[in-house]
Structures are given as structure tokens and as C-alpha cells.
Amino acid sequence: MTIEQLRKMHQARPFSPFRVHMADGRHLDVDHPEFLAHTPAGRTVMIARPDESFEVIDLMLVTSLAPINGKPRSRRPRKK
């Protein structure tokens, strides 16, 4: 996986949630663009989790990226 591939998913507008698949079989979901950060060189990535914890991963251990539901996330607030 390259940082360019990750940036393409991360910076897509409108943003679509996506899943990061790891070499060890785990996966991490990126539900919002603010939940992902990377170092300037792009080798290390931090993904925030819903429980306020985070994972720091080496991009070399990422095997693939995939949309979670295939639908872009709306930027408009939902009507009540």
C-alpha cells in the first residue's frame, strides 16, 4: 500500500467511510476524515477508534483499502 493510495481514499470529496485491511487479518474502519492522520513521510498512520482509543500502524502492513458501504457520507445535517 502506498501513501498516495491512502490519501486518495482519505481526501475523496464527498468522503466515503473505508476499511483498512491489515496483513495480520485485522481491519480498522475510518468513519470520518478526521479519524485518520499520517506522518509527513507517510509511513506511519494513526486511526482513531469510536471508543477514543487509536491504533498506530506501519503503512507497509496495510494490504488493502475498501469502501465500507459504498455510499458517500453526506455533509448536510440530517433533518429531524
What CATH code would you report for 3-67?
2.30.30.100
Evaluate whether 17 touches 71 at the Cβ level (below 8 Å).
Answer: no
C-alpha cell at position 34: 478526521
pLDDT-derived band at 80, boundaries 50, 70, 90: low
Q: For the chain, which residues make up each domain, given as ranges? A: 3-67
pLDDT in tens, 16-74: 999 999 999 999 999 999 999 999 988 999 999 989 999 999 999 999 999 997 554 44
Kindly write down the DSSP assignment for every residue of the chain, as one continuous string: --HHHHHHHHT-SS---EEEEETTS-EEEE-SGGGEEE-TTSSEEEEE-TTS-EEEEEGGGEEEEEESSSSPPPSSPPP-
77: pLDDT strictly greater than 70: no
CB atoms within 10 A of CB 34: 9
CA 41 centroid distance within chain: 17
For residue 22, the model assigns a pLDDT of: 97
| pLDDT at site 71 | 53
Q: What is the pLDDT of residue 72?
A: 47
